[in-house]
A and B are shown apart, each in its own frame.
Chain A
């Protein structure tokens, strides 16, 4: 029977998919179990697919012997600050571009914002570094938080969302009630923008949490290092402490993985919403 054969083919198609999914997950598995091995076990042949024995000390040692706790705090502060600032700037300007259609020069200013999306970040690295030196902001949180926060892409996205979802009647009603313009933005508009803010926030968090290059350039002392930087520098040490690197890597990787698995739908929406429209 045709239908039966079709079903069997479909069932069989799950096998290669499962195999490939396994291959994609495998490096995570390897990272995770390597964090529970000592140095000898990591390089042992034949490889141990389950640690024997399970070494728990790596996590204790990585907390004691490296600056990872401080780095974790730094990463959280930087990611939080960067995302909050970017969301504030983008939603405020995006809302303004969407809802003040008669402001003189609005379209030209917006076209200008769009044009700035074409600027490749690589061109800006040196001048931004020089500016930060002049502002004496090198080796501070500001050096990580501020430079990328004025995101044209974010404004574009917020404007799109605001013009579709924020209704003029609501704004007018708030004005009649005597709200100031900023109060309207803060109390009326922001709650409506929440889904878009969440999606944009996720995209920004992925970028800043994993950032290595800029952290390497602007963060100079151990007390300022972020997680990727601490891991990178451990890797560069003379006798590379792989067991600590693996434990540290789990610490650096887990927050986003867990967040992704919990908010999978928002992550996917964030990635696609921002790109297909752009």
Chain B
């Protein structure tokens, strides 16, 4: 038996040779970091001096770390502000592109998707010009509206420098950036729905609304779930856009512009609190994992 097993392994040596490059790299840049990071989360370490074991202190400190809690809150608010409109826009665009009568579908699809292949740093800088309080296009346009309707008393809005407007401004940027991605996924989902369902429904006299409610939405559920999980992960670990718009957390509207991704980055690579940062990363990974499981349950129920 033992001999047989070894022979079988040897007989498949090419299999092991072919998968080993992946496993070697994964061991170095995946598995080892995963374990090391877990260990780090119980220590205090700046990467240079001696590592000290602190037990659960990092996790306890998190609860009292105001900046950590603020960053979570900001992340949540941004997510709530941008994900629903993005989903709605993506779904409406996908429905439109899925019709046979819409002309220039390729052009529309390209226009909506183009933001997704653009470097985020470029997106953020262009938007910061458009958002600029004194000379930005957005306030200029608002000013024009204000001239037409003086009773509205429109003032220039400090989009990126005030507590109140920073998060909506980021949300708008994110809607612009990610709608096309979700639209493409939803469009693929719509195209996967067999037309037979719709024909059968039409014969049964189902109207547009009924077809949407009883066919399209239930069958799109797996795609929505996938988009929701991607958005969740993307929001929690969002970094580039806030990093650029707040100039590393130093500019912008102060603490109300700091999201979790930025705080994690600063804790790691500006303050070099490797232990504390690891414990934060693990904590968030746990919550993201749980939330993903919760969202995945939606996929199963009712279908």
Given contacts A102-B12, A150-B26, contact A267 B117 (CB under 8 A): yes
Residues of chain A with a CB closer than 8 A to B264's CB: 122
Stretch from A19-27, A53-61, A62-70, A192-200 that touches the partner: A19-27
A119 touches B30 (CB 8 A): yes
Q: Which residues from 194 to 238 on chain A have a C-beta closer than 8 Å to any C-beta of chain B?
A: 206, 209-210, 212-213, 216-217, 227-228, 231-232, 235-236
Contact for B285 among A122, A129, A182, A210, CB less than 8 A: A122
B129 touches A227 (CB 8 A): no
User: How many whole Å from B28's CB to the nearest CB in chain A?
Assistant: 6
Given contacts A17-B102, A25-B111, A122-B285, contact A93 B21 (CB under 8 A): yes
A127 touches B40 (CB 8 A): yes
B19 touches A93 (CB 8 A): yes
In the complex, the chain A residue whose C-beta lies closest to that of B275 is A126
A122 touches B261 (CB 8 A): yes
A245 touches B125 (CB 8 A): yes
Residues of chain A with a CB closer than 8 A to B244's CB: 212, 232, 235
Residues of chain A with a CB closer than 8 A to B154's CB: none
Residues of chain A with a CB closer than 8 A to B23's CB: 109
Q: Which residues from 220 to 263 on chain A have a C-beta closer than 8 Å to any C-beta of chain B?
A: 227-228, 231-232, 235-236, 242, 245, 249, 252-253, 256-257, 259-261
In the complex, the chain A residue whose C-beta lies closest to that of B261 is A122
In the complex, the chain A residue whose C-beta lies closest to that of B282 is A123
Interface assignment of B239: CB less than 8 Å from any CB of chain A: yes
In the complex, the chain B residue whose C-beta lies closest to that of A149 is B25
A257 touches B18 (CB 8 A): no
Interface assignment of B168: CB less than 8 Å from any CB of chain A: no
In the complex, the chain B residue whose C-beta lies closest to that of A205 is B117
- How far does the alpha carbon of A58 sit from the alpha carbon of B300 in the complex, in Å? 55
Given contacts A100-B15, A106-B15, A122-B285, contact A130 B36 (CB under 8 A): yes
B29 touches A181 (CB 8 A): no
Interface assignment of B277: CB less than 8 Å from any CB of chain A: yes
A13 touches B96 (CB 8 A): yes
- How far does the alpha carbon of A17 sit from the alpha carbon of B106 in the complex, in Å? 13
Residues of chain A with a CB closer than 8 A to B289's CB: 118
Interface assignment of A178: CB less than 8 Å from any CB of chain B: no
Q: Is the interface of A mostly helix, strand, loop or mixed?
A: helix
A123 touches B34 (CB 8 A): yes
Q: How many B residues touch A, CB cutoff 8 Å?
A: 95
- How far does the alpha carbon of A93 sit from the alpha carbon of B122 in the complex, in Å? 36
Interface assignment of A268: CB less than 8 Å from any CB of chain B: yes
A260 touches B284 (CB 8 A): no
In the complex, the chain B residue whose C-beta lies closest to that of A240 is B125
- How far does the alpha carbon of A25 sit from the alpha carbon of B29 in the complex, in Å? 38
Q: Which residues from 107 to 163 on chain B have a C-beta closer than 8 Å to any C-beta of chain A?
A: 107-123, 125-127, 129-130, 132, 134-135, 137, 140
Interface assignment of B201: CB less than 8 Å from any CB of chain A: no
User: How many whole Å from B137's CB to the nearest CB in chain A?
Assistant: 6
**Binary flags per residue of A108-138, CB closer than 8 Å to B gives 1, else 0:** 0100010010111111111111110100000
**Binary flags per residue of A18-51, CB closer than 8 Å to B gives 1, else 0:** 0011101101101100100000001111110000
Interface assignment of A275: CB less than 8 Å from any CB of chain B: yes
B21 touches A131 (CB 8 A): no
Contact for A104 among B12, B122, B265, B268, CB less than 8 A: B12
Known A-B contacts: A253-B119, A264-B109. Give 16 more (CB < 8 A): A14-B102, A14-B103, A20-B93, A20-B112, A24-B111, A24-B112, A27-B126, A90-B22, A116-B31, A120-B288, A123-B34, A124-B30, A124-B33, A124-B37, A148-B29, A231-B119
Pick 15 A–B contacts, CB within 8 A, sort by A: A17-B108, A27-B115, A100-B18, A103-B8, A120-B237, A122-B261, A122-B264, A131-B29, A155-B22, A185-B18, A212-B119, A212-B240, A253-B118, A272-B188, A276-B192
Identify the 3 closest CB pairs spanning chains A and B, nearest first.
Answer: A127-B33, A96-B18, A103-B12
